[in-house]
């Protein structure tokens, strides 16, 4: 269990840092991205210096992003035909209705019946288990007491052997006096009458009472088991009727005091044991003091333990000075300790009538309020209310809120049961219903202190980043899904939607951009044959991720998207458009089933990419130009008829503008050979393109723009 929990936890980092610093070895033979790749066979080489690992400004992110290379030559998993749009081009934001909901399962009456059935089973199973153990102990104990009483009851009457001995003594005395010269005094037979010793009476009284109580426990226990069997009998009714029938039985069970009768059984058996000890000590003290001393010492320890554990719950409740009772509760709850607790309540009520000033202390108000407790359950519920209270006034809880008990319970459930996704769902919904501060403390506890994700969560929940409650709520839910989406891929669509909604709605710390980087790579590499990523094969997710990239590029925040993210965005665009921009080799026409919605999304991104090229530093300009140029050549192969695309989607003017801007930048940076033949670190995402490929792209787009 411990190893599983550790593997789910994010990487530990220095708490003073806000970004992860990773040492990357100079050689990464297992990395999917070859940072200093040698010249590949079949590629065009030049005198230009290859992009080395020292030149790569994103080397420090290599380990944490774990890039996966999409197969651009494989068939696109998205439909090429025109799809129903359903506001796909509207970015998701916090507060909008969810498209990918965490499921809630089951008919309402069926769930109510299951909850009641679970409660009854746990309650009755606990009773049955206790009664079964009591029956076993009572049977063994009765046999033990019987062995003693078989001997002790004979002390209550004169035995025939004693009468015979007296008669023989009388006859012997009479014969001796008839022949002896000096006769003895005559034997007074009538004066030697039998009498029972008072000690023997007491011993037999307590032992026979002990045996009677033990057998009574067995009798009542058997009756209770029969009552519980009938209470749990299944009538095979519809769920609604079964709930009503169960409630009728349950109310009868309470009205006729079955729980109270069951609680008396251990008290009867313990009383029987105490009576047996009393008789045993009386016997030993009248027979041998040495033996009696040792046995008395052992029995005294046992009785002391019983007395302390019986009184401790009442004593803790009475003398704890913390008005909120935020201390570990004593678990020594039993029927006899409940009697002790009620006795203490009666004493306190008597004291309260005396109006003694020294008892006007805050914690005494709590004791007087406890008079309404009906059983240990109501005792626990009142204790919990005091723990949840922000203020306690004269023993009454005021301004209740969720306390650490709820936080720790969800954290325990998460650590214990979330190997199954069925346990993740209810925790997710509970976090959505809890107070923001409590939900945040709960999720924060899932992450180890000092980890970057935990530190980022606290920063993001600040009002500077998330001023509204909806934003804070979605951040908390996203962090919870982030913990489990890798172990349970079915959660990934919900996780992706949460992250996109957050990024579209607010500013985030730089470290949070790593999440969208990983999401882009997951979307770009999703495959139907891969069960861990097949849940992401939804074009809505890809479109919304690209719209999010568009939004983030427009913001142009420092520490935001990196060039690697733009490369993956181009790859994701290719996956969306490859099935739409399908060609017929003979006439170079475009498939009439082209998805113009996907094409419009791409054209909006082309417009943003044009601005992104100009945003970067001049020294990095060539890299951005190269990425976008190769991305355009990947999406629009030479066989693509741009004229037909233009007729289907007038927004293709934005693609034309991007190509013209790229042409200007390439000319300014030394021409196509200076840019395209310089090998970039992202070339595993697509083939190396040459000056001829760039010329073919220009030719296609110049036919649309009308330039020669």
Domain boundaries, the chain: 108-159+197-287, 363-400, 411-526, 562-584+593-707
* Separation between Cα atoms, residue 704 and residue 648, nearest integer Å: 13
Decide: 649 and 640 in contact? Cβ < 8 Å.
no
Residue that has been written with the tokens 């949840």 in this structure: 388
* Residue 197: pLDDT band with limits 50, 70, 90: confident
* Separation between Cα atoms, residue 136 and residue 688, nearest integer Å: 82
Cross-strand pairs, 451: 12
Please report, rounded to a whole number, the percentage of residues in the chain having pLDDT higher than 90. Answer: 12
* Separation between Cα atoms, residue 669 and residue 616, nearest integer Å: 14
**Structure confidence by residue, pLDDT tens digits, 622-647:** 888 988 998 999 888 888 888 888 88
Decide: 431 and 472 in contact? Cβ < 8 Å.
no
Residues near 358 by beta carbon (within 8 Å), at least 6 away in sequence: none
**Structure confidence by residue, pLDDT tens digits, 522-559:** 998 888 888 777 888 888 899 999 999 999 988 877 66
Query: What's residue 234's pLDDT?
Result: 80
Half-sphere exposure of 677 (CA within 13 A, CB side): 16
Decide: 609 and 546 in contact? Cβ < 8 Å.
no
Query: What's residue 445's pLDDT?
Result: 86
- Which of residues 40 and 541 earns the better pLDDT score? 541
Query: What's residue 74's pLDDT?
Result: 54
Residue 373, Cα to own-chain centre: how many angstroms?
A: 32
Please report, rounded to a whole number, the percentage of residues in the chain having pLDDT higher than 70. Answer: 72
Residues near 426 by beta carbon (within 8 Å), at least 6 away in sequence: none
* Separation between Cα atoms, residue 462 and residue 464, nearest integer Å: 5
Cα angle value 534/576/40 (rounded, 5°): 90
pTM: 0.65
Q: Which among 329, 309, 207 has a CA at the least distance from the CA of 266?
A: 309
Q: Is the pLDDT of residue 374 over 60?
A: yes
Query: What's residue 549's pLDDT?
Result: 92
Judged by average pLDDT, the poorest of 49-53, 103-107, 152-156, 374-378 is: 49-53
For residue 391, what is the DSSP state? E
Number of CB atoms found within 10 A of residue 348's CB: 16
Q: Is the pLDDT of residue 170 over 80?
A: no
What integer is the mean pLDDT of 235-262?
Answer: 81
Query: What's residue 252's pLDDT?
Result: 82
Q: Is the pLDDT of residue 178 over 50?
A: yes
Pair type for strands 389-393 and 589-590: unpaired
Average per-residue pLDDT in the chain?
Answer: 76
Q: Which among 428, 531, 417, 479 has a CA at the least distance from the CA of 5?
A: 417
Query: What's residue 22's pLDDT?
Result: 30
Query: What's residue 41's pLDDT?
Result: 33
Max avg pLDDT among 196-200, 217-221, 460-464, 656-660: 656-660
Q: Is the pLDDT of residue 14 over 50?
A: no
* Separation between Cα atoms, residue 532 and residue 132, nearest integer Å: 48
Max avg pLDDT among 58-62, 176-180, 403-407, 517-521: 517-521
């Amino acid at each position: 269990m411990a190893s599983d929990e550790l593997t789910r936890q994010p990487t530990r980092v220095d708490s003073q840092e806000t970004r992860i610093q990773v040492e990357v070895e100079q050689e990464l033979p297992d990395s999917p991205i070859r940072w200093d790749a040698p010249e590949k066979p079949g590629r065009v080489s030049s005198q230009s210096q290859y992009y080395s690992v020292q030149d790569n400004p994103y080397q420090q992110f290599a380990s944490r992003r774990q890039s996966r290379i999409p197969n651009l030559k494989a068939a696109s998993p998205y439909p090429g035909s025109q799809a129903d749009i359903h506001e796909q081009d509207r970015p998701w934001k916090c507060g909008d209705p969810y498209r990918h909901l965490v499921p809630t399962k089951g008919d309402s009456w069926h769930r109510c019946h299951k909850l009641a059935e679970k409660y009854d089973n746990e309650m009755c199973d606990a009773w049955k288990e206790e009664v079964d153990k009591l029956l076993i102990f009572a049977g063994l104990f009765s046999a033990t007491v019987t062995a003693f009483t078989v001997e002790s009851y004979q002390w209550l009457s004169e035995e025939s052997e004693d009468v015979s001995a007296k008669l023989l003594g009388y006859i012997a005395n009479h014969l001796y006096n008839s022949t002896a010269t000096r006769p003895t005094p005559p034997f007074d037979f009538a004066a030697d009458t039998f009498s029972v010793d008072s000690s023997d009476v007491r011993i037999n009284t307590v032992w026979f009472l002990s045996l009677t109580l033990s057998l009574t426990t067995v009798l009542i226990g058997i009756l209770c088991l029969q009552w519980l069997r009938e209470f749990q009998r299944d009538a095979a009714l519809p769920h609604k009727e079964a709930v009503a029938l169960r409630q009728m039985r349950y109310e009868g069970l309470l009205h006729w005091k079955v729980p109270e009768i069951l609680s008396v059984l251990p008290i009867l058996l313990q009383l029987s044991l105490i009576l047996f000890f009393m008789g045993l000590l009386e016997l030993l003290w009248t027979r041998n003091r040495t033996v009696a001393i040792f046995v008395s010492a052992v029995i005294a320890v046992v009785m002391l333990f019983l007395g302390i554990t019986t009184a401790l719950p009442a004593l803790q409740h009475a003398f704890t000075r913390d008005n909120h009772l935020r201390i570990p509760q004593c678990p020594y709850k039993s029927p006899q300790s409940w009697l002790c607790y009620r006795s203490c309540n009666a004493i306190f009520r008597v004291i309260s009538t005396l109006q003694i000033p020294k008892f006007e202390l805050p914690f005494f108000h709590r004791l007087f309020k406890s008079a309404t407790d009906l059983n240990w359950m109501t005792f626990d519920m009142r204790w919990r209310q005091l723990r949840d209270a922000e203020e306690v006034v004269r023993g009454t809880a005021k301004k209740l809120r969720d306390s650490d008990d709820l936080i720790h319970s969800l954290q325990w459930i998460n650590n214990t049961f979330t190997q199954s996704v069925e346990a993740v769902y209810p925790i997710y919904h509970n976090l959505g219903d809890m107070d923001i501060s409590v939900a945040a403390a709960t999720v924060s506890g899932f992450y180890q202190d000092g980890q970057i994700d935990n530190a980022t969560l606290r920063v993001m929940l600040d009002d500077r980043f998330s001023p509204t409650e909806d934003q804070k709520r979605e951040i908390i839910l996203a962090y919870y899904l982030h913990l489990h989406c890798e172990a349970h891929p079915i959660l990934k669509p919900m996780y992706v939607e949460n992250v996109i909604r957050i990024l579209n709605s607010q500013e985030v710390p730089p470290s949070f951009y790593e999440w969208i980087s990983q999401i882009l790579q997951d979307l770009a590499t999703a495959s139907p044959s891969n069960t861990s990523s097949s849940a992401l094969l939804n074009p809505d997710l890809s479109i919304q991720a690209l719209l999010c990239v568009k939004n983030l590029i427009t913001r142009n925040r420092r520490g935001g998207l990196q060039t690697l993210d733009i490369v993956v965005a181009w790859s994701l665009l290719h996956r969306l458009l490859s099935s739409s921009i399908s060609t017929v080799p003979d006439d170079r026409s475009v498939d009439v089933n082209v998805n113009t919605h996907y094409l419009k999304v791409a054209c909006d991104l082309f417009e943003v990419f044009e601005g992104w090229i100009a945003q970067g530093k001049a020294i990095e300009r060539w890299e951005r130009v190269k990425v976008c140029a190769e991305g355009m050549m990947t999406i629009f192969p030479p066989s693509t008829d741009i004229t037909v695309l233009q007729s289907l989607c007038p927004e293709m003017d934005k693609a034309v503008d991007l190509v013209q801007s790229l042409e200007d930048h390439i000319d300014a940076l030394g021409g196509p050979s200076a840019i395209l033949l310089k090998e970039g670190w992202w070339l595993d995402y697509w083939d190396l393109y040459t000056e001829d490929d760039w010329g073919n792209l220009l030719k296609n787009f110049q036919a649309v723009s009308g330039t020669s």
